Structure 1
Amino acid sequence: MLYRQTAARSVLRAISSSNASVARSSLVNNVFKAPLTSSARYPTRPTVSPSLALAAHKPVTTALVRYSSSSPNTDDDVDVMAGIKGDAKVIKETFSLEAVPKDALYLGMAGVIPYVATSLQTVYLAYEINRAAVAGDGLIFSGQSAEFMLHILEPIQIGYGAVILSFLGAVHWGFEWAGYGGRFGYRRYAAGVIAPAVAWPTLLLPIEHALITQFLAFTFLYYNDARASVKGITPPWYSMYRFVLTFVVGASIVATLVGREQISGIVSRDHNISEKVSALLFLQQKEKAEAEERRKAEQEESE
């Protein structure tokens, strides 16, 4: 009995193993029939590209990778161009002068022409003086003529700057009289008083010191006007209007200082205020001494 059961189990195991081997052999013949045939034709096995291997395992992922690599990256380009256009629009709106009344804009732009003209002339005359010092003669003017014209331009530019600074201070008096944004009294009148108090003493300073002082004064007044515009005590367009004009004037002052720096060792140095006061006191003492000598001489003749 034991022998019969053992024989039956052996038969069942043999049948199941034979069926599995048949199934495996048929699957292998169907799947690998083409590779085996090609390998029989070609002694060396052809290389399979990684993309094909990836496609055999993950066809959907491979298709997405191929599409992302082959399709043009238009989204980033569109985003970059949109960002640039947006930034340009913001800059244009920030520095826009459309809200400024046209008459005030035109007269304000015309008001900076003398500053720009004197600055450009200073730079050109500095070039002529340098050329005359090196080559012996200037391009159009001689060295002495260019230096003489330069000394004529100096009080013109400084005097005009003092006038403009005084005018910018007086604007706040006009706002106070008109009651724009309310009444502020001395606090708003102070801006109109400080501006000429700083501007007109620059007429007594040497040219470089005067230009630097006026540059700082223009910058401070713009800062004050910008704060006043934010507080609503000046028109909303006034701060941008002042920024553009102050920028032109400041650039002109810087150009003048650069031009004068190029001829600092050639042109005779201007006297400062202390030297001018000392010269004035010396002349007064000299005149008193001469008057005393004449008086003594007249007394001796009379005796």
Structure 2
Amino acid sequence: MLRNGATRFARSIVAPTTRPFVPAPRAAPAHQWATQFGSMASKRPQTAQLARITPIRSSLSRRNLTEDQKKAEDRYAHEKLVPTPETVSTTSSIHPFMSEQGVETPQNNDVDMMAGVKSDIETIKETFSLKEVPIEAYYMGLAGTIPYLGTSLATVLCAYEINHSVGGQGNILSEHTATHLLHLLEPIQIGYGASIISFLGAIHWGLEWAKYGGVHGYPRYAIGVFAPMAGWSATLMPIEYALITQFMSFVGLYFIDTRAALKGWTPPWYREYRFILTFIVGVSIVVSLIGRGEVSSKVGRMPGATDRIKALREGSQDQLEDEEEARIAAKKDAAASDDRDEH
């Protein structure tokens, strides 16, 4: 029976052609990845062709070397290795990460965090050592600060006895005795301070006469003039203002002496010498001010030189008035007696 093309076309639509079954590709087993000569290995074996190229490559690289490099290689090739058993240890085969084997590694010391403090301490030691100061001047200068220290400690003692006295009696001194002693210390401390300030100024006169550091004339003489003016003017002030004035005078003279030492007007050691003495005197004055401040409301102020001058002036005027009144009264009495005689 014959079939035309239309019939075959219809059959192809009704019954589609089936495709043959193709299985999915399987993944390579895990052991194949680890094998050295497998197709899936991460490292393939070197072929014989590459092995034959390696000597050629090394010879070509050797042709590019200079003569000096070739000589160095020959020298290294014929150099005899020297045994160093002292470098052999349990860790000699381990290459250090931050250094070389057999080479002495410099010690990496940690940063000293106290270096600044140690430097300051050494500076203080050098300042207070006074190695260059003549021993005679050193001892005499320290002895000159004893009166200042004594009056300052006595002021603190008197202030303590006044504040802690019970019924007028203290531990060592009575309140009346401590008050009287406190008034007695005022002219001693102020007068001694004025004398020391004058002496510090007079030193520059002696250096000028000795022509130490050259002849400087009026600038150096002026130091010896203004120093006693500042020191003795404090004797006319109340005790608190007098102590503050002398403290400023000592500090100002120390600054002047420091500048003079830098200019070569004084010996090099004079600056450190003056620092020690000024430090002791300054501390003594501050202690005296603190002690007097503790009893300022309990102890009356002792009359100063200005008060005495004012009292003397007023007393003289009152005395003149009394004398004038006495003369007038005497004249009246004389006139009255004459009238009685005439009658």
Which range, TM-score by smaller chain? 0.7 to 0.9
The answer to whether the aligner puts 1:131 opposite 2:164 as a matched pair is yes
Pairing partner for 1:170 from 194, 202, 215: 202
Which residue number in structure 1 is paired with residue 121 of structure 2?
88
Which residue number in structure 2 is paired with residue 212 of structure 1?
244
The answer to whether the aligner puts 1:300 opposite 2:332 as a matched pair is yes
Distance 2:207 2:259 in 1: 14
Percent identical residues: 51
Pairing partner for 1:191 from 223, 226, 229: 223
| Higher-helix-fraction structure | 1
Distance 2:236 2:117 in 1: 50
Which residue number in structure 2 is paired with residue 97 of structure 1?
130
Pairing partner for 1:269 from 301, 309, 315: 301
Correspondences of 1:44-193 after superposition (within 5 Å): 75-76=109-110, 79-80=112-113, 84-132=117-165, 136-193=168-225
Measure how far apart 1:122 and its partner are.
0.2
Normalising by structure 2, report the TM-score. 0.65
Correspondences of 1:17-56 after superposition (within 5 Å): 22-26=31-35
Distance 2:264 2:175 in 1: 53
Distance 2:286 2:116 in 1: 34
Which residue number in structure 1 is paired with residue 49 of structure 2?
none
The 1:290/1:23 distance shift into structure 2, 3 A limit, reads same
Q: Is the 8 A contact 2:168 2:176 kept in 1?
A: no
Q: Is the 8 A contact 2:201 2:223 kept in 1?
A: yes
SS in 1 for 2:297: coil
Distance 1:100 1:84 in 2: 26
Normalising by structure 1, report the TM-score. 0.74
Which residue number in structure 2 is paired with residue 8 of structure 1?
none
The 1:135/1:191 distance shift into structure 2, 3 A limit, reads same
Letter in 2 for 1:76: D
RMSD: 2.7
Measure how far apart 1:75 and its partner are.
2.8
Pairing partner for 1:286 from 318, 325, 328: 318
Letter in 1 for 2:283: A
Measure how far apart 1:256 and its partner are.
0.2
Distance 1:117 1:180 in 2: 35
Pick which of 93-102 and 217-226 moved more.
93-102
Q: 1:100-138 CA deviation, whole Å, 9 max, x = no partner?
A: 000000000000000000000000100001112x56421
Q: Is the 8 A contact 2:236 2:306 kept in 1?
A: no
SS in 2 for 1:75: coil
Gapped regions of structure 2 (runs ≥ 5): 1-24, 37-93, 99-106, 336-343
The 1:229/1:282 distance shift into structure 2, 3 A limit, reads same
Distance 2:116 2:282 in 1: 32
Distance 1:154 1:83 in 2: 44
Distance 1:229 1:85 in 2: 27
Distance 1:21 1:295 in 2: 146
Distance 1:290 1:137 in 2: 43
Letter in 1 for 2:252: F
Which residue number in structure 1 is paired with residue 268 of structure 2?
236
The 1:92/1:148 distance shift into structure 2, 3 A limit, reads same
Q: Number of residue pairs matched? A: 245
Measure how far apart 1:274 and its partner are.
5.0
Which residue number in structure 2 is paired with residue 32 of structure 1?
none
Gapped regions of structure 1 (runs ≥ 5): 1-13, 28-58, 65-72
Measure how far apart 1:91 and its partner are.
3.0
Letter in 2 for 1:75: N
Distance 2:230 2:114 in 1: 48
The 1:140/1:93 distance shift into structure 2, 3 A limit, reads closer
The 1:25/1:184 distance shift into structure 2, 3 A limit, reads closer
